[in-house]
């Protein structure tokens, strides 16, 4: 096999950060400027397409030969750009995917951050192998439109002859990217991406490139409604407060403190909600806080993101990031952030959609009350099937609860999922020793269901009182005094899950301390080391054969003064690369979410093989775009219920709906 490493530099007037790869490439002024490559590790060569040079015939031939593997960092970019350059048909473009290997995916699979510069630092590349820091400025100069000024002759684009020295540096930068990509690939070569993960990546690219249709009438109507209502709300807030900008945290905080004669820490969503829940005696303060809540709705931002991302054919593409969560391998949202959409609660969504399309704020407010809240709920419904098609939307039922029950061997939970599936009621029954038949509406015992629900949502991964509070226990009517008893009751009812936490923690400690493998249930902990690259990992091999990677593991005391496994990773809040601590509950969460992710991956492949076109998937839910006559919910759910070959005994279930737009109740 030949190996061809590639990096390209491109131009488009479309902002790739706001609009994504696909709209960027589909722009009429898109072009490839530079094509750098290395064949089988040879010195990097570069083709300056702006100077009339062409890609050598030998390289063009190899690029479409099954005897050649193509490597790139974020290979989806090179694949899609070059597919347009070579004028490939949709079929040829999709077939070509099997030749590509993504070095970014390789890094994410091994637990490293995304970004060529970031992974170069994380794995310790020498300076001459790292990405050049000047790249961002050069990309801004040559790859994006420029602002016309009298100094630059009122041009809207910088070409090579406008700054020959910069162009020479840009060529060196492009060459260096190939050097860095090859260095990363070499460093990680002892820990290859499994073939099934590669296959899933290819399916993911096909799903992203196909895209999902948007109801542009609803989008434009919702933006118009939002602009009108926001102007009205701002005018009211200014009239009450006398402030120039009531949305300013500093200004509004000062006004509220003066009106309430009390100190206010912040104006976060939780703080504002808490103040309103406690009751505000001053009507003007209460109204201003309500206005802040209304003005803080993210509805218009999502609709604006849709307008930015939609391509000429009315479809939005590139909404899902493969391996976006690199600890577990789960997908993440991009552009419109479909993984983080408001739920739909209003009953007549179709009527609300009609009002929004007509920019009818009066009827929206008259019928539903809050216009911003209604528009927020309608965001999901902006995703619609192709002309003449229906959506079939199906999702796994309580998949994480099912996976942890299966993994831990908690038999009573397995019995619940094998029969009625009412895990909240069953959990309350186990916790409080009440017959499950009594936990139903109309009985006083039904109040226990809320405790069972919040316990199920918060405590499966070694959470305690703080986890219950974060999950909304207090807003559900529970008192802080009764939370410790809920924690104790749940743990007593789930001894095998509790045992699993401590077994996971002990296995991790022993693996890192003694460099030896440990087995917990169907999971294998290993300490892995490549002497050539000098990279160390603690890995957990999942039932699917996929591994979770924890780079540079060591044992240090945690914040509680207890020995714990620490590793290098990206902090969830700061996004900075640094040392993180873990424990049994967190490791259990990683593994359970990773197994649930693998179940979804298997299911997406099954749906694809059955001829169903998945256009997006959100958490554990698949959204299928298919002809109305083939919109068979039961068939789709049955595919999702099928046993997973590597997880015998794992009981899966699914439910959903067939409709003309996406929603979530």
260: burial class by Cβ within 10 Å (0-12, 13-18, 19+)?
Answer: middle
Q: Categorize the per-residue pLDDT at 131 as very low, low, confident or very high, splitting at 50, 70 and 90.
A: very high
Q: H or E stretch including 38?
A: strand 31-39
| From 277-281, 513-517, 596-600, the region with the lowest mean pLDDT | 277-281
| From 268-272, 465-469, 519-523, the region with the lowest mean pLDDT | 268-272
Is 447 within the bounds of a domain? yes
Determine the average pLDDT of the residues in 626-643: 97
347 shares its domain with 473: no
Using the predicted structure, report yes or no on whether residue 299 has a pLDDT greater than 80: no
Is 567 within the bounds of a domain? no
The predicted-structure confidence for 51-96, as pLDDT tens digits, reads as follows: 999 999 999 999 999 999 999 999 999 999 999 999 999 999 999 9
At 298 the pLDDT is 59
CB atoms within 10 A of CB 343: 10
Global pTM exceeds 0.85 = yes
| Lookup: tokens for 117 | 């510069």
CA separation for the pair 305, 139 (Å, rounded):
23
The predicted-structure confidence for 347-396, as pLDDT tens digits, reads as follows: 899 999 999 999 999 999 999 988 989 999 999 999 999 999 999 999 99
38 shares its domain with 136: yes
Is 290 within the bounds of a domain? yes
CA separation for the pair 384, 645 (Å, rounded):
34
**Closest Cα partner for 352 from 218, 467, 486?**
218
Backbone angles phi, psi at 439, to 5 degrees: -90, 80
| Lookup: tokens for 539 | 């890995």
The mean pLDDT value of the chain amounts to: 94
- DSSP state at residue 131: P
How many structural domains is the chain composed of? 3
Determine the average pLDDT of the residues in 184-202: 98
303 shares its domain with 378: yes
24 shares its domain with 145: yes
Is 598 within the bounds of a domain? no
135 shares its domain with 225: no
- Supply the range of the domain harboring residue 331: 214-382
Using the predicted structure, report yes or no on whether residue 216 has a pLDDT greater than 70: yes
Determine the average pLDDT of the residues in 94-100: 97
Using the predicted structure, report yes or no on whether residue 157 has a pLDDT greater than 80: yes
375 shares its domain with 436: no
Q: Distance between the two ends of the chain, CA-based, in angstroms?
A: 51
What is the C-alpha radius of gyration for the chain, rounded to an integer number of angstroms?
27
Residue by residue, DSSP assigns 437-493 as GG-STTSGGGGHHHHHHHHHHHSTTS--HHHHHHTTTTTTT--GGGHHHHHHHHHHH
Angle at 612 between CA 610 and CA 617, to 5 degrees: 120
Is 201 within the bounds of a domain? no
Helix, strand, coil share of the chain (percent; to 5): 50, 15, 30
90 shares its domain with 137: yes
Q: Categorize the per-residue pLDDT at 149 as very low, low, confident or very high, splitting at 50, 70 and 90.
A: very high
CATH number, domain of 100, equals 3.30.420.10
Q: Categorize the per-residue pLDDT at 573 as very low, low, confident or very high, splitting at 50, 70 and 90.
A: confident
185 shares its domain with 227: no
Helix axes 584-609 and 633-641, enclosed angle (nearest 10): 130
| Lookup: tokens for 75 | 């290979």
**Closest Cα partner for 641 from 653, 632, 633?**
653
pLDDT above 90 as % of the chain: 84
Q: Categorize the per-residue pLDDT at 427 as very low, low, confident or very high, splitting at 50, 70 and 90.
A: very high
| Lookup: tokens for 314 | 């009315």
Is 432 within the bounds of a domain? yes
At 476 the pLDDT is 79
364 shares its domain with 248: yes
Q: Of 456, 475, 493, which marks where a domain is finished?
A: 493
Q: Of 493, 526, 546, which marks where a domain is finished?
A: 493
CA separation for the pair 525, 113 (Å, rounded):
22
At 472 the pLDDT is 85
Contacts by 625-628, CB closer than 8 A, 24 or more apart: 625/212, 625/213, 625/385, 625/386, 625/389, 625/391, 626/385, 626/389, 626/390, 626/392, 627/388, 627/389, 627/390, 628/388, 628/389, 628/390
Determine the average pLDDT of the residues in 614-632: 96
Residues with Cβ within 8 Å of 274's Cβ and at least 6 positions away in sequence, in order, are none
Determine the average pLDDT of the residues in 591-606: 98
269 shares its domain with 311: yes
Determine the average pLDDT of the residues in 585-592: 98
176 shares its domain with 126: yes
40 shares its domain with 156: yes
Is 526 within the bounds of a domain? no
Is 662 within the bounds of a domain? no
Determine the average pLDDT of the residues in 530-554: 97
Q: Of 189, 222, 253, which marks where a domain is finished?
A: 189
Determine the average pLDDT of the residues in 443-449: 91
Using the predicted structure, report yes or no on whether residue 665 has a pLDDT greater than 80: no
Determine the average pLDDT of the residues in 633-637: 97
pLDDT above 70 as % of the chain: 100
Would you say how long the chain is, in residues? 665
- HSE of 442, CA atoms in CB hemisphere, 13 A: 1
């Amino acid at each position: 096999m030949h190996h061809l490493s590639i990096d390209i530099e491109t131009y488009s007037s479309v902002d790739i950060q706001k609009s994504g790869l696909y709209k960027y490439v589909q722009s009429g002024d898109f072009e490839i400027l530079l094509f750098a490559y290395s064949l089988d590790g040879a010195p990097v060569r570069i083709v300056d397409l702006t100077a009339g040079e062409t890609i050598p015939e030998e390289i063009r031939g190899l690029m479409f030969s099954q005897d050649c593997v193509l490597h790139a960092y974020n290979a989806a970019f090179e694949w899609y750009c070059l597919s347009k350059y070579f004028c490939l048909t949709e079929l040829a473009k999709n077939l070509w995917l099997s030749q590509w290997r993504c070095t970014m995916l390789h890094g994410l699979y091994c637990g490293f951050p995304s970004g060529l510069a970031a992974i170069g630092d994380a794995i310790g590349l020498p300076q001459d192998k790292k990405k050049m820091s000047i790249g961002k400025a050069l990309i801004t100069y040559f790859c994006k439109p420029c602002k016309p000024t009298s100094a630059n002759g009122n041009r809207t684009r910088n070409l090579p002859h406008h700054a020959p020295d910069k162009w020479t540096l840009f060529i060196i930068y492009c060459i260096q990217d190939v050097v860095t990509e090859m260095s990363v690939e070499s460093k990680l070569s002892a820990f290859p991406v499994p073939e099934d993960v590669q296959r899933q990546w290819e399916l993911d690219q096909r799903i992203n490139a196909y895209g999902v249709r948007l109801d542009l009438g609803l989008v434009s109507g919702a933006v118009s409604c939002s602009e009108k209502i926001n102007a009205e709300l701002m005018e009211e807030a200014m009239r009450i407060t006398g402030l120039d900008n009531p949305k300013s945290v500093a200004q509004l905080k000062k006004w509220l403190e003066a009106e309430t004669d009390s100190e206010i820490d912040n104006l976060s969503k939780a703080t504002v909600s808490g103040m309103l829940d406690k009751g505000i005696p001053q009507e003007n303060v209460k109204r201003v806080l309500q206005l802040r809540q209304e003005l803080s709705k993210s509805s218009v931002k999502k609709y604006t993101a849709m307008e930015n991302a939609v391509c000429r054919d009315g479809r939005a593409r590139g909404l899902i990031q493969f391996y976006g969560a690199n600890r577990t391998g789960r997908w993440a949202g991009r552009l419109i952030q479909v993984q983080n959409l408001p739920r739909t609660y209003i009953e007549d969504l179709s009527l609300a959609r009609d009002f929004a399309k007509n920019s009818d704020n009066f009827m929206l407010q008259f019928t539903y009350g809050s216009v911003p809240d209604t528009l927020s709920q309608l965001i999901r419904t902006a995703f619609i099937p192709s002309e003449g098609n229906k959506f079939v939307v199906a999702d796994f039922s309580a998949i994480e609860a099912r996976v942890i029950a299966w993994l831990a061997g908690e038999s009573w939970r397995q019995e619940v999922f094998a029969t009625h599936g009412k895990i909240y009621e069953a959990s309350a029954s186990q916790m409080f020793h009440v017959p499950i038949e009594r936990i139903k509406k109309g009985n006083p015992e039904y109040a226990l269901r809320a405790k069972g629900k919040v316990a199920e949502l918060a405590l499966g991964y070694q959470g305690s009182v703080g986890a219950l509070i974060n999950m909304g226990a207090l807003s559900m009517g529970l008192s802080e005094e009764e939370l410790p008893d809920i924690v104790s009751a749940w743990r007593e009812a789930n001894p095998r899950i509790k045992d699993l936490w401590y077994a996971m923690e002990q296995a991790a400690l022993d693996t890192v301390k003694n460099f030896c493998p440990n087995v917990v249930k169907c999971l294998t902990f290993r300490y892995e080391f490549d002497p050539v690259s000098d990279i160390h990992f603690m890995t957990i091999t999942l039932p699917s054969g996929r591994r979770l990677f924890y780079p540079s593991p060591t044992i240090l005391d945690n914040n509680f003064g207890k020995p714990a496994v620490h590793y290098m990773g990206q902090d969830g809040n700061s996004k900075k690369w640094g040392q993180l601590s873990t424990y049994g509950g967190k490791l259990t969460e990683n593994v359970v979410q990773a197994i649930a992710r693998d179940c979804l991956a298997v299911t997406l492949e099954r749906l694809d093989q059955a001829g169903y076109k998945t256009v997006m998937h959100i958490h554990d839910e698949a959204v299928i775009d298919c002809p109305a006559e083939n919109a068979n919910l039961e068939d789709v759910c049955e595919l999702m219920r099928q046993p997973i070959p590597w997880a015998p005994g794992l009981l899966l279930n699914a439910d959903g709906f067939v409709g003309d737009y996406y929603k979530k109740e």
